[in-house]
Structure formats: structure tokens, C-alpha cells
A and B are shown apart, each in its own frame.
Chain A
Amino acid sequence: MNIAGLTLPDIAGLLVGTFLTLCVFSYLLGDNALFRLATHIFIGVASAYVAVTAWFNVIWPKLILPVLNWETGSISILNYLIPLLLSILLLFKLVPRLSTLGSPVMAYLVGIGAATAIGGGVMGTLFPQVAATINLFDSDSAGGGIFWLLIIESSFILVGTLSALIYFHFGARSPHGGPPQRAIWIDGISNIGKYFIAVTFGALFAGVLTAALTALVERWNFILSFILSFFSWLI
């Protein structure tokens, strides 16, 4: 970073960035006015940015401009008028007395969202991943290698998958009127699954920690570089 070569807006940006980063770091000392100032600015800027993006990337080019530029013989104007009408109806959700007018649109959104998620989950994750677990034992698709090593590795993954799935089976019966209990074999397998799940959580935690440390390193590098270059520029 060389301050001498920067323009005034660049320097202003650096100063604001450094100040706001230090404000966020001040949370180490507990909740304080500087931290709250930074979070309020962040929320305000983020909300404004989302509103501007929605207008310039969605509402104007995809809803209003096509209606204004519509020509006879091109795509039916209903393709734009129906979404426009539904959008207006959705706004009625803001008025408690008229909110029922927006309910069909909301129901449509929820239905479409659920159908997309379920369809995608089944066809894009569930079936392919089940097939992948089965294919683990296919030595041809595994690309050769030592056969017994392949079997051990595949069996390990299969045991992990099945035992983790069985861990989430909570069906129980009450033998002789006693407290509900899971079947002994389900209990045994779910105990194995518990360790696989623990390892998965460990990997996820390590990933989150690594991501957070990278962000901290980049921010501290930014502040340190700014301070060092500022003093070298002064001297």
C-alpha cells in the first residue's frame, strides 16, 4: 500500500474502512457505542444496497421496461402484467386489514419454493448420492487400485452413511408398559453413527474457524499495512 500514489477518495475509503474495522474489533471490550455505530451503518448500507439492486436489476429491467417497450406481435404482454399484478397484491401483506389479498400470492410462492427444493433435493442430491454410495463398491468405476483397500474404504463409508442415518431414527416401543426404548440393534448402530457425526461436526467447525481466521488475517493485514504506510508517508 502506497499512500502517496492514492487519490483523495481512495484515502477517504481507507480511513473509513480502518475506522469501521476498529469499531467492530472494539466488541472485544464488550458491547459499546462504536460497535453499535458500525453495525447500524452496516445494516443501513446493506438495506439500501439491496433496495437499489432490486430496483435496477429486477423491477426496472424485468418488469417495467418490458411493459414500456412492449410491441404488438412480440411476447404476450400478459407475461409481464400477471407478475406485476401479483407483485402489487403481495404489497397488501403490509396492510393488516387487506393482508388476505396477498395470501394467494404468498401461498403460490411457498408452494413453488417447496416444490423446487424437494424436486432438486431428490433428483440432485438424494438419488445421485445413494447411487454414489452404491458405486463405491464398483472396482471399474473406482479406476482400479488394490481391491481389498477399495473394499475397506467403501465399507467404511457405507458404515458411516448407514449408521449416521440410523442415528436419526427415533422410533421406540414400550415393552411391558415400561419406558419407550429403541431396539437394541438400532441403539448399537446409532452409537457408531454418533462418532461419525461428531467427526463431521469437527470438520465443519474447523472449516468455519479457518474461514473466520482468514477474514481476521485479511482485516488485520489491511489495518497494519495502512498504519505502516501512513507513518512511512509522514516520515
Chain B
Amino acid sequence: MSEVQCSHCGKENPPDLEICQHCQSPLVAPQQPEELADVPPEGPLSELTGIIPIESAVNEITIPKPYSVKVRVSESQRANVRLLENLTKEGVRPPSRERAPGVTIQQALRILTAMALILAISWGIIFDTPSFQLPSADARISEFSEHIITLPESAPVLLAFEYEPGFSSELEPSMTIILDQLLSRGAYPVLVSTTPTGVVQGQRAIGLLNQKAGRVYEAPSDYINLGYIPGGATGLNSFNAGIRSTFPLEANGNQVWALPPLQNVNSLSDFNLVIVFTDSTETARSWIEQVGTDLQDTPLLMVASAQAEPLINPYYNSDPRQVDGLIAGLAGGAAYETYTGGMEVSRPLWGAFNMSVVVAAGLILFGGLVSVIGAAYKSESNGPSGH
């Protein structure tokens, strides 16, 4: 048989192919003149010429070839899929209103874990454990403090409060000391936030400092709270592009930029220092990406929660630095307290915190050991054949 020419690309194909091997278009065999001249012998179309008999079309209908839709996966991939299925099943299961009789093992374990932690914390609070001394300050802490103590008087400093109330216990120790350092040196803090709760956190921080240090810092003579920057990263970008247009007026309608310490501030690089208090990597990244690149000589410092520290560290350790100073978690705050030697803010929590960390680590280790022993016992009882 002769080769079939593709009507789409014009190239030749072997006669047994149904699809062009060059362009994958369906191949139509060349029609023979005698076939076109076929006349149906009978029926309503018997007198018509040049039509295709319906029998040939019907006869060509065949059951399509079965193609496998199974994904070829390895055994380990299968195990991962099973694990994910189990996890999602747990997640979407609606809470049952019917209580199981008695206490389940899971509930008992949860209560026991909580009791162990609460006992350890109570012990740490009531009996101030002397073995847990505040950590000593390292170069990171001294570098951070250096940025603050070298500030000139009336220097405008931008403070961003980017954390939820749940993280205040972690950030407040270092924040209170930093605020005290700034205000006692005559710097002029300008408070902002891209989270709604940050606005009140900034105000609370000043109140806490007034209460702990016995001082009376008031707005707008000692500091100003500009408030909330809406729009997340986009809002921050707009704030960076034009701080005066982003905050034309204070919340009560007063002119902000007519205040003496802010008269010469036209962009973020006119601040002497920018400090971000944050509990999340996303907000930290927003500040680094949207603001940090335009700060020029103004240092960008961060006081972060321990949960955000691992992902902020690369920006601090990079060369050149994208974050010029970093204090993280209660441990960072405690080290800063040791270095400055001022107020005792993290000291009341430090012993209890260490006790809780020791107990939590012990519980994780114990749980891991129980799992390993359980798995070994199970495999042994199943026998070497796995039955």
C-alpha cells in the first residue's frame, strides 16, 4: 500500500497509522473515485450519488482502547499518600458531640503533659531557681545596643509594632528596655504598625514603661503614635514612597509633620533608626523587602519572636547585612537585660521558662523513646515474616 499524506502538514506517513507521526493530526486515507461514485443500492438515498454509506461509518465504531490512568508510584510514595490521607481525615472530621465513655488515652496524655508543664512552671515561679541565671550578652547584643546609645538627642526613631498580643510576653522584656534607652536619651519615637493590634501594642508598651520605670512619657511631646498602615506589604511600600502622604494627619486631625522633631523627616531614610518588633516572618520580610532596600545609612534593627528568628537570621548574617541588629525571643530579651543592667523585666519569667523548656524537651525525648520501643515490640510480635 502507498504511504498516506497528511492533510495538515503534507508529510508522508506509513499507511497503517491513524495519526500523523509528524504533527499528530488525524490522518484521512485518500478517497478513491470509485468509492465516491458508490450508489446506495436501496433505501431513501438510493438515487443519490457521492454520499458515504452509513453502514461503513457504523461498522467502524469500535470500543476505544483502554488506556491506564494509574499513576506509577513507588512504595515510599504510597506510604506518604496514606499518611497524608490519614492526616486530612483527622483534620476534616467534624467534632463529635457524643462523648466517649471515660477518658481516652489521648486525653489522659494531654492532661498529663499539661500538668507536668504547669508544675514545672509553678516551681520556677514560686521557687526562683538560682541555677537559671540570666544569659550573658554576646556581640550581637552589644552591637544592637550600640546603635541606640550612639543616637543624637531628639533623633527621630521609627518603631514598628508588628505582633499579636499573644507574643507580648516574649517581646516586652527587650522592648521595654529599648524604649527606656531611647526615651531617656531624648530620642523621639514614632510608632506605626501594619497590623491593627500593633497600634494598641505600641501604646501599651509606653504605658508599661511608665509603670515600670516610674516615668511619665506623653504624646506628642515625647513620642507620637501614627497608627495603622493598611494594606500589608503594599501599604508599607506606599509608606516608604511617601510617609507624609500616607499619614497626612494624626487620628485626631492634628498636623503630624509640623512637630519639631519631625520637621526634617521627608522619607524613611531621614529617621536615625528603624526598629521592628515582630512575631512573624512575613512582616519581617515585608519590612526588609519594601523598606530596608531604601534606608541607605539608616540601620534596620529587629526584635523578633523565637518562632520568627530562624528565617530572619539569614538577613542578619548576610553580607552585606540586610538587618543590622537582631534580638530574638525571651532569651534575647534576658541577654539584653544583662547587658544594659537596668530594669528587671524578663527575670521573673526566666526560671519558669527554663524549667518548662527542660520538661518539654524531656517529654519529647520520652515520647520518642516510647514510640521507638513500641515500634520495635510491634515488629517483634509480628515476627520476621511480617505476619
Contacts and interface: CB of A to CB of B under 8 A. Distances in A.
Nearest to A178: B72
Nearest to B169: A218
Interface residues of B, number: 69
Contacts of B247: 62
Interface stretch (B174-182, B230-238, B378-386): B230-238
A175 to B, nearest CB: 12
Contacts of A206: 306
A188 interface: no
B118 interface: yes
B125 A207 contact: no
B306 A123 contact: no
B352 interface: yes
Nearest to B249: A61
Nearest to B364: A209
A132 B199 contact: no
Interface size class of A (residues with CB under 8 A): 35 or more
Contact of A211 (B197, B329, B360): B329
Interface string A86-129: 00000000000000000000000000110011001101110011
A49 B197 contact: yes
Nearest to B96: A31
A178 B72 CA distance: 9
B306 A117 contact: no
Contacts of B292: 124
Contacts of A53: 196, 199, 227-228
A117 B196 CA distance: 20
A215 B199 contact: no
Nearest to A225: B125
A165 interface: no
A152 interface: no
Contacts of A3: none
A66 B245 CA distance: 11
Interface string A167-180: 00000000000111
Nearest to A174: B72
Given A216-B117, A217-B356, A210 B318 contact: no
B302 interface: no
B38 interface: no
Contacts of B248: 61-62, 66
Interface stretch (B10-18, B107-115, B129-137): B107-115
Interface string A39-82: 00000001001100110111011100110000000000000000
Contacts of B293: 123-124
A24 to B, nearest CB: 11
B251 A57 contact: yes
Given A113-B233, A125-B285, A214 B170 contact: yes
A208 interface: yes
A137 B307 CA distance: 29
Nearest to B250: A61
Nearest to B72: A179
B279 interface: yes
A131 to B, nearest CB: 8
Nearest to A109: B234
- Interface residues of chain B: helix, strand, loop or mixed (majority): helix
A132 B320 CA distance: 7
Contacts of A2: none
A220 B122 contact: yes
B318 A129 contact: yes
Contacts of A208: 306-307
B348 interface: yes
Given A57-B227, A125-B289, A218-B169, A116 B196 contact: no
A213 interface: yes
Interface string A211-231: 101111111110011000000
Given A124-B290, A135-B319, A220-B125, A215 B234 contact: no
B369 interface: no
Interface string B89-127: 000000100010000000100110010011001101110
Interface in B283-303: 285-286, 288-290, 292-293
A214 B322 CA distance: 28
B289 A136 contact: no
A29 interface: yes
Contacts of B167: 211, 215
A235 interface: no
- Among A50, A54, A207, the most chain B Cβ lie within 10 Å of the Cβ of A207
B307 A211 contact: yes
A144 interface: no
Nearest to A58: B230
B196 A50 contact: yes
A60 B320 CA distance: 42
A132 B318 contact: yes
A212 to B, nearest CB: 8
A124 B295 CA distance: 12
A30 B306 contact: no
Contacts of A146: none
30 contacts: A25-B114, A49-B197, A57-B227, A62-B248, A113-B232, A113-B233, A116-B233, A116-B237, A116-B290, A120-B289, A123-B289, A124-B292, A125-B288, A135-B318, A135-B319, A141-B319, A179-B72, A180-B72, A204-B307, A204-B311, A208-B306, A211-B307, A213-B353, A214-B170, A215-B170, A216-B117, A217-B356, A220-B352, A221-B352, A224-B125
Given A25-B114, A65-B249, A214-B329, 11 more contacts: A49-B196, A62-B247, A116-B233, A116-B234, A132-B318, A132-B320, A141-B319, A179-B73, A204-B307, A206-B306, A217-B121
- Top 4 nearest A-B pairs by Cβ distance? A124-B289, A218-B169, A120-B289, A132-B318
